[in-house]
Amino acid sequence: MTWADTLLLLPELIAATGASILLIVPVLGGRARGHMAKWAMLALMAVTALAVIGSTYAVAGVQQTPTFRAMFAVDAFSVFFKLLFVVVIALVTLLSEDFLSEERYSTWEYYSLLAFALCGMMFMASGVSLITIYIGLELLALSSYILAGYYKNHEESTEAAMKYFILGTVSSAILLYGISLIYGVCGSMRLSTIAAALSTMLSNDALMFGIMLLAAGLCFKIAAVPFHVWTPDVYVGAPTPISAFLSTGSKAAAFAVFARVFYVAFPAFHLDWSNVLAAIAALSMIVGNLAAITQTNVKRMLAYSSISHAGYSLLGIIAMNEMGLRGILIYTMVYVFANLGIWATILMLRRHAYAGESVEDFRGLHKRAPFAAFSMVVFLLSLGGIPPTAGFIGKYFLFAAAVQAGFGWLAIVAVVMSAVSMFYYLRLVVAMYLEEGSGAETIYSPSLRFVTALSLTVTLVVGFIPELPIRQVIESSSHLVGRVVQR
Amino acid sequence: MGFYDSGFPILSVITYLPLAGALLMLFINKENTGAIKTFATIVAAVDFVLSVPLWFYFDRKAAGLAMFQFRETASWIPSLGVKYSFGIDGIALLLILLTTMMGLIAVYSSYTAIDHRQKEYYILLLLLQTGMIGVFCALDFFLFYVFWEVMLVPMYFLIGIWGGQRRLYAAIKFFLYTLAGSVVMLLSILALYFFNSSGIPFLNIKGLGNAPSFDVLQFHQIGHLISPQLQFWIFLGFFLGFAIKVPMFPFHTWLPDAHVEAPTAGSVILAAVLLKMGTYGFVRFALPILPDGTRQLMIPIVTLSIIGIIYGALVSLVQKDMKKLVAYSSVSHLGFVMLGMFALNPMGLRGSVLQMINHGISTGALFLLVGIVYEQRHTRLISEYGGLAKQMPMYATLFLIAALSSMGLPALNGFIGEFTILLGVANANIWWAVFAAVGIVLGAAYLLWLYQRVFWGPLDNPANKVLKDVNKRELLTLLPLVACMIWIGIAPAPFFEMIEQPVDYIVQKVDPGYFKRQPVTYPSEAAERAAAVSSALAAIQAEVHR
């Protein structure tokens, strides 16, 4: 370990230090200045983002810089996700402003937990050893459990946190067991060493079992069927900004891990695990979308929709080709922004107890908040994959990857299900534009407006001029795909 | 007018002008409905005026790939091989002219019919027009797909906001049905794409197919190399996407709902242009790219077309609602278009293409006419009317012309189209023609019976005694259509001339031996044509090589 190694760790160090500082500020007498917390948090995000960008200069010209005995790597792939995480956390910070000021919960601890979660996510993106990944994942998970129960006085929130905690811990245990089996067979936690060991093996039941357990643990994190049951309850019970975080940032981190682990470590056994994952993906798309149709609660609907999106994204892992990996990156980005935009609109309505939860609350929104309603339509079309929004580009990559890999049947399930998904997305459009009558009150704070505007910009820019993001994604993922080709 | 032959991107201008107009309309105060209507009309009118010179500057004799004119190519998403590629042949040109004309008529006919949320209405109408023209111009699959899907959204809102009683149901049904078809089509496009860019052995033909590309014309060149088995599946995907749009029996169930619930202008656009996208998709993509797939699915499609012709006509016969009757008559007429197309000979295809235009004009006019009485009486039930000929003589005359045109009376456009189709179909199989002829008879039956019930007999419903005849504005929307009916009916030659090369090109693709087998009347001309085609092919190959 040298100083240069430590420098590579700078973004994580900053996030962890910042989180710790945020945690002790109230002890030092900052509790009264709760409104300052948001700005402190945003400043922390800005510095972290700069550090992430800075770290890319440190490794300029080198595709991947493993450090700390090859447990941690800074590469274009991790930088892509880290920047995405920082933006997500910053936007979640903005989304949380009103919730915190209204509910009078401690703001500093809240943001501190978010910063710890960010730290965990960044470790996940950079982890090239299963143990680093596991620790990052646990840091994220523990922060999320607490955040999900932040509505201390609400029974639902507490219940959601309990459920999330118990199921999450079990899934972590499964994941850990899988890791231990893989370690037992391969003798290493390092992804590249595992890959090398696998390439000389023909078949190994213990290893397959390990891979399956690892996949099961990760599927819990991304909320894929049949590991999805926690999702609707947690999304509904948790404070809305935290639901937004869980459905975007937390999932994106899990996908970063999923992609890196499977693309780097397990390509040799692709034939063995791809069919299992294909079944999981198909189930997620079918169950998620069909269940979403029957929901009347918007948060529950979004929960099921996010389950289905986990299914789409899995196509990228199953395909195991260039197109697929790019698809995961671009789809994650597209999905994150469309979803954050939708949550911002829900938060706008989320006044006076539980408004913004039923579809009726959206009635006639186009009159009361034309900009929000229009943006909402764009986000919903993006989730449905209708061009010229970003969602089409994302889905295009994933479907194309599946077709290219020969998973034609899965691609058919995916396209049919994405048509089905429009059915429930359109319900919100119907409520906003086609039904008259008064829905919930709206208070559109500047922060929410900013989140909506940024998400809208990304969604439209990626839709209309996809070349730039696509090139970025190719750059960020090519060094992982290289391994696939080598095998 | 050097614009049209100097490489000026005229197609883009025509495509995006309505979009630009829609964006500008955002700045007009929504209370100022007069300005909104005027502005929308001006935009649509300018668009139409800009599109008319295409007719004159288009080189009808250009054969092979050169027949795609007014080409525009720019890079859009190079990393995927997606290009911004525009270009039209005679078929697309006619459809674009139809679109700009119907677009103008749709805007102009909505002045009094739409009384709430007017600003949004005209904005959506203009957006829809951009999508429709784009579909006909695009020569890149990706771009085509984007326009194809973009169109759904404005149409969804047009039906959903300004429609009738069951508008929500109709709008969602329309959206989901079409979307389901088009996503399956997307898979077919992807299959073509990978077929093109992956290292499948035969694609190692130097220069062909190694670079990822969505170029439709390139697929025209290499499509026939795809194995027949794969062609079958790819064709099936296209078929689903296009057949739902056409709509062919049994995928037609969204159509009556959408038509009945849509506002008048929506129905006009839907019937005149949107349905043509399905048939256009077949002639532009499915047939020339997948000749084996086409031939394999020929019999099932012909069967469905004949069922559609007769089923649509029979169902029209028993309708109580005028609009629904016209809607079902579309199923029957589009069956004709599909039947003529799948005769797979030049005559049938010519008739099929011409009938696309004819159907747009006649059915568009019928929907407009139904809309005129609906606006006054707020009912479309045939039983509510009777004896209107006395009350509204002008209206009755126009309706008669439109109905006669739709049923195929000689000297009007429908006759030319149906007759040509029948010739082509009889050439392929005489029994198909017999079934189709039954459809024509039934068509005359339901239209004449409709006319009889609505316009003749005693004027005994007091509510009908206050009906006003067509006013100047309504007359202005109808007269151009009547003029076109008569023009095509009397002098169809310019239209046939326009589509001759594209049709021959498609037949040559689908059935390469066709022109060799047929006794050609003008040998020199045919030889010339064959030479032109082959030299064009050589040219494109050389270009791709580079």
Angstrom distance (rounded) from CA A267 to CA A273 = 9
For residue B206, pLDDT beyond 50 = no
Instruction: Inform me whether the C-beta atom of residue A404 falls under 8 Å from chain B C-beta atoms.
Output: yes
Provide the pLDDT for residue B209. 45
Provide the pLDDT for residue A485. 40
Q: For residue A367, what are its two tokens?
A: 């009159």
A307-361 pLDDT, tens digit each: 999 999 999 999 988 889 999 999 999 999 999 999 998 888 865 555 557 888 8
Instruction: Inform me whether the C-beta atom of residue A471 falls under 8 Å from chain B C-beta atoms.
Output: yes
DSSP reduced 3-state for A233? helix
Angstrom distance (rounded) from CA B194 to CA B212 = 8
Give the range of the structural domain holding residue A85, as residue numbers without chain letter.
Answer: 3-486
DSSP reduced 3-state for B460? coil
> Residue B220's pLDDT band (boundaries 50, 70, 90)?
confident
Provide the pLDDT for residue B196. 62
A183-224 pLDDT, tens digit each: 999 888 998 889 888 888 877 888 999 999 999 999 999 999
Instruction: Inform me whether the C-beta atom of residue B333 falls under 8 Å from chain A C-beta atoms.
Output: no
C-alpha distance from B194 to closest chain A C-alpha (Å): 6
Residues 6+ apart with CB under 8 A from B167: A434, B159, B160, B161, B261, B262
Provide the pLDDT for residue B207. 40
Asked if the Cβ–Cβ distance from B149 to A400 is below 8 Å, we say: no
Neighbours of A3 (CB within 10 A): 6
Residues 6+ apart with CB under 8 A from A335: A248, A309, A313, A383, A391, A394
Provide the pLDDT for residue B526. 54
Asked if the Cβ–Cβ distance from B186 to A416 is below 8 Å, we say: no
Domain count within chain A: 1
Residues 6+ apart with CB under 8 A from A181: A206, A207, A209, A210, A213
Q: Find out whether A425 and A383 touch, Cβ atoms under 8 Å.
A: yes
Beta bridge partners of A74: A65
Instruction: Inform me whether the C-beta atom of residue A364 falls under 8 Å from chain B C-beta atoms.
Output: no
Question: Phi and psi of A331, rounded to 5°?
Answer: -70, -40
B107-139 pLDDT, tens digit each: 999 888 888 888 889 999 999 999 999 999 999
> Residue B545's pLDDT band (boundaries 50, 70, 90)?
low
Asked if the Cβ–Cβ distance from B176 to A419 is below 8 Å, we say: yes
Closest alpha carbon within chain A to B163:
A434
Largest CA distance in chain A: 67
Instruction: Inform me whether the C-beta atom of residue B230 falls under 8 Å from chain A C-beta atoms.
Output: no
B226-239 pLDDT, tens digit each: 888 888 888 999 99
DSSP reduced 3-state for A72? strand
Question: Can you give B390-423 as a three-state secondary structure string?
Answer: HHCHHHHHHHHHHHHHHHCCCCCHHHHHHHHHHH
Question: Which sequence spans correspond to the domains of chain B?
Answer: 300-546
Contacts of B161 in chain A (CB under 8 A): 433-434
Q: Residue range A287-294: average pLDDT?
A: 92
* Strand (E) or helix (H) holding B73: strand B69-77
Angstrom distance (rounded) from CA B43 to CA B19 = 10
For residue A231, pLDDT beyond 70 = yes
For residue B205, pLDDT beyond 50 = no
In a mutational test of the B interface, the residue from A363, A396, A468 whose CB has the highest number of chain B CBs within 10 Å is A396
Q: Residue range A73-102: average pLDDT?
A: 90
Contacts of A400 in chain B (CB under 8 A): 190, 193-194
* Strand (E) or helix (H) holding A55: helix A36-58
Provide the pLDDT for residue A340. 95
ipTM for the assembly: 0.89
For residue A63, pLDDT beyond 60 = no
Give the CA angle between residues A439, A356, A385 to the nearest 5°. Answer: 105
Residues 6+ apart with CB under 8 A from A318: A274, A277, A278, A281, A324, A402, A405, A407, A410
> Residue B314's pLDDT band (boundaries 50, 70, 90)?
very high
Q: For residue A31, what are its two tokens?
A: 């509790």
Q: Residue range A296-314: average pLDDT?
A: 93
| Residues 139 through 198 of chain B touching chain A, CB cutoff 8 Å | 145-146, 149-150, 152-153, 156-157, 160-161, 167-168, 171-172, 175-176, 179-180, 183-184, 186-187, 190-191, 193-194, 198
Provide the pLDDT for residue B520. 53
Query: Whole-model pTM?
Result: 0.90
Q: Judging by beta carbons within 10 Å of its beta carbon (0-12, 13-18, 19+), is residue A297 exposed, middle or buried? A: middle
For residue B522, pLDDT beyond 90 = no
Instruction: Inform me whether the C-beta atom of residue B483 falls under 8 Å from chain A C-beta atoms.
Output: no
Q: Which residues of B118-150 are buried (b: 16+ CB within 10 A; e: fewer)?
A: bbbbbbbbbbbbbbbbbbbbbbbbbbbbbbbbb
Largest CA distance in chain B: 77
Q: Residue range A384-392: average pLDDT?
A: 90
Angstrom distance (rounded) from CA B309 to CA B440 = 9
For residue A483, pLDDT beyond 80 = no
C-alpha distance from B227 to closest chain A C-alpha (Å): 16
Q: How high is the mean pLDDT of chain B?
A: 86
Identify which of A418, A21, A483 has the alpha carbon closest to the alpha carbon of residue A259. Answer: A483
Q: Find out whether B233 and B84 touch, Cβ atoms under 8 Å.
A: no
Contacts of A434 in chain B (CB under 8 A): 157, 160-161, 167-168, 171
Q: Residue range B45-69: average pLDDT?
A: 88
Q: Residue range A60-65: average pLDDT?
A: 58
> Residue B524's pLDDT band (boundaries 50, 70, 90)?
low
Beta bridge partners of A64: A75
Asked if the Cβ–Cβ distance from B77 to A418 is below 8 Å, we say: no
Contacts of A404 in chain B (CB under 8 A): 190, 194, 198
Closest alpha carbon within chain A to B162:
A434
